[in-house]
Amino acid sequence: MSAAGGVIVPQREEQAHGPIGHGGGVDTAFLGMLLFIGSELMFFAGLFAAYFNTRAAAPVWPPANIDYIEPFPLATPATIILVLSSVTMQWAVWRIRAGDRTGLKRGLAVTLLLGAVFLGIQLYDYYELVTVERFGIDSGVYGTLFYTLTGFHGAHVFGGLVGISVILLRASQGQFSGRHHIAVEAVSAYWHFVDVVWIALFVTIYLLK
C-alpha cells in the first residue's frame, strides 16, 4: 500500500500498466492467458491435421453428394461479423489504456453483441443443415470433421462471450483504469485468437474445400 494525496492506493494499482510490467517482463496473469492460448492453438492444430490428413487420403473431397457447405449466405456474413467484433474488442482495449471507462464499456458491449450474433448464425446454420439437408455429425467422416471443427470453435466463442460478460460487469463497477486493466488485455488476446482460428476454419472448410 502507498499514500497518494492522503488516499491509500493498492500497490498493484500503481504498478499495473497493461501486459508489460515496469521491468519489461510480461505480467504473470497475461502470461497465463498466453500459455492457455498456446495450448488451445496446439489443440486446434491437431484438429486441422486430422482434417487435412483425411482429405489427402480421400479420393473425392468433399464427398460428391455434399454440395451445400457454401460460404454464402451464412458463413461469409458470420465471418465479417466476427472480424468486426475483434476490431471493437481492440478498440475497447485502446480506450481503457487511455483511461476511458465509458469507451471500454461501449466497446465490450458491441463486441458481446457481435459475438452473440455470430454464434446465433452458426446455430441457425446447424439447424438448417440437420433439418433440411439431413447432414449431421454422423454423416460420414466429413460430417464428423465439420461439426467437430466448427463445434469446438463455437464452444470457444461461447467461452469468450462469458469472459467478455464478466469483464463488462466489472467495468460497470468501475474496476478498471488506465493503469489497471490486465484482465481486459487477457480477454482481448483470447478473443483475437478465436477470431484467427475461425478465419483459418472458414478458408479451410468453405473456400479450399
Cell 448464425, residue? 121
Helix, strand, coil percentages in the chain from 3-state DSSP, rounded to 5: 75, 5, 25
What pLDDT, on the 0 to 100 scale, is given for residue 195? 98
Please state the length of the chain.
209
Domain boundaries along the sequence of the chain: 27-208
What is this structure's pTM? 0.88
Question: What is the chain's pLDDT, residue by residue, as a tens digit (209 residues)?
Answer: 444 444 333 334 334 456 655 445 678 889 999 999 999 999 999 999 999 999 999 999 998 888 889 999 999 999 999 999 999 999 999 999 999 999 999 999 999 999 999 999 999 999 999 999 999 999 999 999 999 999 999 999 999 999 999 999 999 999 999 999 999 999 999 999 999 999 999 999 999 97
Q: Which CATH class is domain 27-208?
A: mainly alpha
The letter for the amino acid at 100 is: D
